[in-house]
Amino acid sequence: MKIQTKTRMTKFLAIAAIAPFVLTACGGGGGSASGDGSTLTLMDYYNNDPDKALIQTAIDKCASEIGVTIDREVVPGKDLIQKVLQKSSSKTLPDILMLDNPDLQEIASTGGLAPLSDFDVDTSGFAQGMLDAGTYEGDVYGLAPTANTLGLFYNKKILADAGLTPPITWDELKTTAAALTQDSQFGVAFSAIATYEGAWQFLPFMWTNGGSEAALDSTENKEALQLWKDLVDSGAASKSVINWGQGDVKDQFMSGKAAMMINGPWQIPALSADESLEWGSVQVPVNKAGQTPIAPLGGEMWTIPQTGDSAKQAKAAEFISCFTADDTQLSLSTDRFTVPTKPELAQEYVEKMPDMEAFTEQIANARSRTGELGAEWPKAATEIYTAIQLALTGKATVDEAFAQAAKG
């Protein structure tokens, strides 16, 4: 899961604010004024294997199907937005642009992307949360072939030896985590780091409890924050959660220093590589039995920049239709431990990938981070992780944390 950094988004906002027109470059993709669409340029941030190779296979398949050659440029995730801005100013925007889904509305708001409806791309059948992430002011600008989210992983042997089952509610999470805490082993691990990663991990607790990013200083949000504080203050979670990214959380779980963890399915290849580790996963616990778990959607959108080259844009639209088609969704999801974004594919997918059942269930009710606030989401995310840090370090009470975070 790619979580954008605060620096990355701040840099984008600063530049976009002074030059919003730059992204509506008139030159064609790859710098040509026009063309027959036989060669397309594409930019993404899948720069690590096996993702890089798996995405390339899917790109090659779709390129062959629509009869084009694709020149692919892969950049580090933290550099993608800056690279897009540089290319827009030199009129060399790619014909196909992949964006982390929370970035899409920021780019679309500048006029830099073409609505998919301009090219009759079929957007029916996609999960509503993912459509929300790809929508700006009523128009769909991007589609994602797969998605990811968060769940609760647990060490089967540790829980079985203690005669415990995976927790479903917050109360069960607290009592189970406390019972599993001993010596150097904590009951549960999660990421409360002062980045968007910490806000991302908090959202399932906040949203499931009825909280909203539009009213951060609410009772529901404070209750979710109190849960995290209770886990840390009781010793059931390490005080170091304020410094842990999701990779660190995974390391704690794999080393046996945490019996449970909040994390995503992108960690499954590493977990499965350790044959001595027996693990399972369930949806993120809810405050009260009967609540529907709601978690954030991760995943990347594939978009068509406004290059001014209609022939290439039409071919880019064909590529996106292929890249988000049922067969591509299933193959990418199976290979990459992600979830198809069309709910009708869920049953077939889970039959192939039973380890992904909890995450597939979680995706059915997952929500876009930008669905409520749109371009204002980064500000809310910053206040969320700031409030978490204030509360967990004792610099503010839970009751004061969100209000204090809002003051900057």
Tell me, what's the pLDDT at 374? Answer: 86
Is residue 12 very low, low, confident or very high in pLDDT (cuts 50, 70, 90)? very low
Tell me, what's the pLDDT at 91? Answer: 85
According to DSSP, the β-strands at 135-136 and 279-282 are unpaired
Tell me, what's the pLDDT at 3? Answer: 54
Bridge partners, residue 307, by sequence = none
Distance CA(227)–CA(223), nearest Å, equals 6
Distance CA(65)–CA(68), nearest Å, equals 8
Is residue 369 very low, low, confident or very high in pLDDT (cuts 50, 70, 90)? very high
Residues 19 and 112 in one domain: yes
pLDDT tens sequence across 92-135 = 899 999 999 999 998 999 899 999 999 999 999 999 999 999 99
For the beta carbon of residue 169, count every other beta carbon within 10 angstroms. Answer: 16
Residues 251 and 397 in one domain: yes
* Host domain of residue 256: 151-295+373-406
| Residue 218 backbone dihedrals phi, psi, to 5 degrees | -105, 160
Token look-up 């690279």 returns 83
Residues 116 and 237 in one domain: no
Residues 157 and 140 in one domain: no
Q: Is residue 107 part of a domain?
A: yes
How many domains in the chain? 2
Are 148 and 1 a contacting pair, CB within 8 Å? yes
Are 295 and 284 a contacting pair, CB within 8 Å? yes
Q: Is residue 283 part of a domain?
A: yes
Residues 229 and 155 in one domain: yes
pLDDT tens sequence across 179-231 = 999 999 999 999 999 999 999 999 999 999 999 999 999 999 999 999 999 99
pLDDT tens sequence across 234-291 = 999 999 999 999 999 999 999 999 999 999 999 999 999 999 999 999 999 999 999 9
Look at residues 131, 150, 7 and name the one whose alpha carbon lies nearest to residue 81: 7
Q: Is residue 16 part of a domain?
A: yes
Please provide the DSSP assignment of 224-266 as one string.
HHHHHHHHHHTTSS-GGGGG--HHHHHHHHHTTSEEEEEE-GG
- Residue 272, SS3? helix
Q: Is residue 322 part of a domain?
A: yes
| pLDDT > 70: percent of the chain | 91
Tell me, what's the pLDDT at 87? Answer: 86
Q: Is residue 1 part of a domain?
A: no
Look at residues 332, 328, 364 and name the one whose alpha carbon lies nearest to residue 346: 364
Burial class (CB in 10 A: 0-12, 13-18, 19+), 248: middle
Tell me, what's the pLDDT at 295? Answer: 96
Residues 69 and 206 in one domain: no
Q: Between 18 and 374, where is the model more confident?
A: 374
Tell me, what's the pLDDT at 35? Answer: 60
Residues 277 and 397 in one domain: yes
Distance CA(94)–CA(40), nearest Å, equals 8
| pLDDT > 90: percent of the chain | 84
Residues 141 and 167 in one domain: no
Residues 48 and 194 in one domain: no
Tell me, what's the pLDDT at 1? Answer: 52
Residues 139 and 271 in one domain: no
Are 299 and 130 a contacting pair, CB within 8 Å? yes
Are 144 and 299 a contacting pair, CB within 8 Å? yes
Distance CA(286)–CA(207), nearest Å, equals 10
Q: Please state the pTM of the whole predicted model.
A: 0.89
pLDDT tens sequence across 20-61 = 434 344 334 444 344 677 999 999 999 998 999 999 999 999
pLDDT tens sequence across 148-180 = 999 999 999 999 999 999 999 999 999 999 999
Q: Is residue 237 part of a domain?
A: yes
pLDDT at residue 15 tops 50: no
The CATH number of the domain holding residue 380 is 3.40.190.10
Residues 160 and 64 in one domain: no
Tell me, what's the pLDDT at 345? Answer: 97
Q: Is residue 19 part of a domain?
A: yes
Residues 308 and 354 in one domain: yes
Look at residues 322, 324, 348 and name the one whose alpha carbon lies nearest to residue 334: 348
| Residue 94 backbone dihedrals phi, psi, to 5 degrees | -70, 160
